[in-house]
Structure 1
Amino acid sequence: MPALRSLTPPEARVLATLMEKARTVPDSYPLTLNSLLSGCNQKTSRLPIMNLDETAAQEALSGLRQLSLVVESSGGRATRYEHNFQRGVGVPEQSAILLALLMLRGPQTAGELRLNAERWYRFADISSVEAFLDELAERSEEKGGPLVLQLPRAPGAREQRWAHLLCGPVDTTALADAAGAAGDADGSQAELRRRVAALEAELQSLQGVVQALCDQLGVKATDLPGST
């Protein structure tokens, strides 16, 4: 199977949204253009967040139809769209799910992928996720070449993340820097939470000491100067 051309970011978002909704809202699938746009522009479970309009979505759908990755049906009052990813790319169901999640949510660890796939497919364990990722990473050129890449471990991270290659080669340096910045931010927030917790504990301890002194002196804490 020849390699697909690289998808544009809007094409990847449209395709992955169709793949998601086929699993999570089968009663509403295939999708109308309005439903597809709502899914593409969700503010949750999307990275990056996009704001596609009808023109951009139609252009993406046109490009995906040319690649035989999307099928259009005209039954009913509105045109509807469905994906043809597994047959068009030549991958099993589990691999298609992992690729769709990577297109929707950006780079993720095997553990994150397993958790995020719960509504789509229940992987037995992380090892099974890793097995499908390894298969996608080692895909032969005769089958179209690799579809995922394991990224260098980010500073402070315990696990390596995976990224899809459907939109072409990824800038591993930029992704590592972004992950490091996110890790630094998370670390700063964690340190702030620890300091606040320590101050709260110290305040509670001081309040106990004050109350004990007030009990010994036979006064109420609210009677002390400065109390409200």
Structure 2
Amino acid sequence: MALTLSPVETRVLGCLIEKERTTPDVYPLSLLAVTTACNQSTNRDPVVHYAEQEVNLALDDLRGKKLATKVWGAGARVEKFRHNLLDVFELNPGEVALLCVLLLRGPQTPGELRIRTERLHPFESIADLEKALEALAAGDAPLVRMLEPRPGQKERRFVQLLSGEPVFEAPSFTAVPTVATPAPGRLEALEAEVAALKVTVAELREELTRFRKQFE
């Protein structure tokens, strides 16, 4: 099943998955709760400021893609929403946690993922986490992909593919001369040393002048 989520849909789906795990007592979520979750400043990259109307449209689109459902609780006055991720994909709890964090925070290293999935699904080791990533990256329709390390970095990063193939700006390899900037305290010390050296040079010149006058 080919899916390409917009940035708003990506954030909304990630929030629904996250809140099901972290706040089950208030799940499914109202439109206001989904919007608040999308715009929170912690555990999000990038931080966004979506309006309720944008979030509502994204929920409609996710429902059209069978990834979300509108529900009404007994006696509820407000419509609520839940995700249908497991109705579309066969995933275990660890794989769901990884996909959730990748939806919410973009490309990440295995080490970052292990820390950030702790509250959703604790992996016993990096090896277990990497096994789950391999499962998500397998098959004809992978859900994640490994990225090549950035220039000057060694660690691999992984990205989710529900939003389509990632597009990154090509790194610039133009050499730019850099000048080391001393710390403020060090700069003051250097200036003092230079001033002292100037005084010493001036004194030596005076002594040399007096010495020469002895032979005139």
Query: TM tier, shorter chain?
Result: 0.7 to 0.9
Matching residue of 1:80: 80
2:127 partner amino acid: S
Change (3 A) 1:153 1:197: farther
Could you tell me which of 111, 129, 152 is aligned with 2:148?
A: 152
Secondary structure of 2:113's match?
helix
Instruction: Please state how far the C-alpha of 1:197 moved relative to its aligned partner.
Output: 10
Shift of 1:157: 1.9
- Structure 1 stretches lacking a partner, 5+ long: 181-187, 203-228
> Counterparts of 1:198 and 1:160 in 2: how far apart (Å)?
38
* Length, aligned pairs only: 183
Q: Which one has a bigger Cα radius of gyration?
A: 2
Unpaired segments ≥5 residues, structure 2: 190-216
Q: 2:58 aligns with which of 40, 57, 60?
A: 60
- Looking at structure 1, the residues matched to 9 and 171 of structure 2 have their Cα atoms a distance apart, in angstroms, of 26
User: SS of the residue aligned with 1:90?
Assistant: coil
Question: 1:31 maps to what in 2?
Answer: 29
Write out per-residue CA displacement over residues 70-99 of structure 1, whole angstroms, 9 at most, x where no aligned residue: 121122121111111122222222111111
**TM-score using structure 2 length:** 0.76
TM-score by length of 1: 0.73
1:107 is matched with: 107
> Comparing both structures, which one devotes a greater share of its residues to helix?
1
Q: CA RMSD in A?
A: 2.5
Q: State the distance in 2 between where 1:163 and 1:50 align.
A: 19
> What is the letter of the counterpart of residue 16 of structure 2?
L
State the alpha-carbon separation in 1 of the partners of residues 40 and 153 from structure 2: 28
2:95 matched to 1:92? no
SS at match of 1:82: strand
Tell me whether 1:134 sits opposite 2:131 in the alignment.
Answer: no
What is the CA–CA distance in structure 1 between the aligned matches of 2:128 and 2:146, rounded to whole Å? 16
Say if 1:48 and 1:105, in contact at 8 Å, map to a contact too: yes
What's the offset of the Cα at 1:60?
0.8
Runs of 4+ in 1 over 4 A off after TM superposition: 195-199
SS of aligned partner of 2:82? strand
Counterparts of 1:162 and 1:197, CA distance in 2: 39
Report the CA distance between 1:7 and its aligned residue.
Answer: 0.9
What is the deviation of 1:177? 3.7
Q: Which residue of 1 aligns with 2:2?
A: 4
Contact 2:93–2:121 under 8 Å retained in 1: no
Q: Give 1:52 shift.
A: 1.2
Offset at 1:152? 0.9
